[in-house]
Amino acid sequence: MGFFLSQLFPTGIGWGDFHVEFTGIAITFALMGGALGGVSYLWVLGYLYEYQGYDMFLHQLVFYGGCMMFFTIIMTIVGIKHGGRFERDTEGHADENAVELDELDEDITCINDEA
Looking at residue 27, what is its pLDDT?
Answer: 87
Looking at residue 57, what is its pLDDT?
Answer: 85
Q: Which residues, in sequence order, are CB contacts of 30 under 8 Å at separation 6+?
A: 12, 13, 16, 22
Domain count of the chain? 1
- The answer to the question of residue 51 being in a domain is yes
The answer to whether the CB of 85 falls within 8 A of the CB of 20 is yes
- The answer to the question of residue 111 being in a domain is no
- The answer to the question of residue 112 being in a domain is no
- The answer to the question of residue 103 being in a domain is no
Mean pLDDT by 10 residues, the chain (115 residues): 73 80 86 90 90 88 91 84 69 54 56 57
Q: How far is CA 5 from the centre of its chain?
A: 15
In whole angstroms, what is the distance from residue 115 CA to residue 82 CA?
A: 48
| Residues of the domain holding 57 | 2-83
Looking at residue 110, what is its pLDDT?
Answer: 56
Looking at residue 39, what is its pLDDT?
Answer: 92
- The answer to the question of residue 88 being in a domain is no
Looking at residue 40, what is its pLDDT?
Answer: 92
Looking at residue 94, what is its pLDDT?
Answer: 53
- The answer to the question of residue 29 being in a domain is yes
The answer to whether the CB of 86 falls within 8 A of the CB of 19 is no
- The answer to the question of residue 104 being in a domain is no
Range 16-21, long-range pairs (CB < 8 A, 24+ positions): 18/79, 18/84, 18/85, 18/86, 19/78, 19/79, 19/82, 19/84, 19/85, 20/85, 21/85
- The answer to the question of residue 75 being in a domain is yes
